[in-house]
Amino acid sequence: MRGEAVPRRSPEAIRELRAERADVRVIDVRTRDARELHPQQIPGTLWVPLADVVEYARSLPRDCPLVTYCT
């Protein structure tokens, strides 16, 4: 994936993807400060601050779509 553009998806597109596939994982990578400033989040989202993503990535499944978001 290195050097390739990562597609952006609207909230509506994420909602549609989750309706089509129950195994979609949505990960909120905002900092604690960003979450406090904008506490809204997508229901069912896992929060993993961006600084911790590399460490956490080892435990993510490889057989389902992953969507990350931030503000």
The structural domain count of the chain equals 1
Question: Has residue 28 been placed in a domain?
Answer: yes
Domain residues for the domain of 50 are 23-69
Whole-number pLDDT of residue 42: 84
Q: What is the pLDDT of residues 45-69, one digit of tens each?
A: 889 998 898 898 888 888 888 898 8
Question: Has residue 12 been placed in a domain?
Answer: no
Query: Alpha carbon 6 to chain centroid distance?
Result: 13
Quick one: tokens of 69? 């978001």
- Alpha-carbon distance of 50 to 66, in angstroms, equals 14
Burial classification of residue 64, based on how many CB atoms lie within 10 Å of its CB (0-12 exposed, 13-18 middle, 19 or more buried): exposed
Q: What is the pLDDT of residues 1-48, one digit of tens each?
A: 566 777 888 888 988 999 999 899 999 999 999 999 999 888 888 899
Query: What CATH number is given to the structural domain containing 51?
Result: 3.40.250.10
- Alpha-carbon distance of 27 to 44, in angstroms, equals 9
Whole-number pLDDT of residue 28: 92
